[in-house]
Amino acid sequence: MAEHRTMQRDALLEAARSLLSEGGTEALTFPALAARTGLARSSVYEYFRSRAAVVEELCAVDFPVWAAEVEDAMERADTPQAKVEAYVRRQLALAGDRRHRAVVAISAGELDPGAREKIRAAHGGLITMVVEVLAALGHDEPRLTATLLQGVVDAAVRRMELGAAEDPDRITRAAVSMALHGVAG
């Protein structure tokens, strides 16, 4: 029974990822989750009390996977500059991944304060990864700089999500250049 419930919960989360990546937070509804999984809408409520609860669960499951991939890429880099570049490049490479697209949709959505706080905490964990590197590069305010760097990454992800005229490689190169050289190019 417990294994069956876990499978249904996983199916609901997978359906939520699909809905979010296809249509953003507006697409994430309990009728849509029920339709995608073949469960009755009342069954969806047995697993999640609200859309925010679904989002919180996705954050708990997906953000650590994403952060671990970014951290792994940074660990393989051998200089502080290469670590910053890996931080930017890995996140942008993940932008095409469905898990990541769901996280982007969640981050952009209208959510209750509890869900927003979970997302902020997850982003804070990402930012913390690069603070030490920025301190090693001599930044006086490495946490502030890390937050601004993440803003560049987030803007690049949004640009990709919009299907901008530039291809993703150009957006990535521009974001890496901005991260490493600022507006000096």
Quick: pLDDT tens for 12-51. Answer: 999 998 888 788 778 889 999 999 999 999 999 999 998 8
- 84: exposed, middle or buried (C-beta count within 10 Å: 0-12, 13-18, 19+)? buried
CA distance 54 to 29: 10
Q: Using an 8 Å Cβ cutoff, are 17 and 58 in contact?
A: yes
Tokens 């291809």, located at residue: 167
Q: What's the chain's length in residues?
A: 185
pTM for this entry: 0.78
For 8-31, give one letter per residue: b (16+ CB within 10 A) or e.
beebbbebbbbbbbeebbeebebe
- pLDDT of 72 > 60? The answer is yes
CA distance 80 to 26: 40
CA distance 130 to 120: 16
The pLDDT tens digits of the residues spanning 103-154 come to 666 665 556 677 677 777 777 788 889 999 999 999 999 999 999 999 999 8
Structure token pair of residue 115:
């869900």
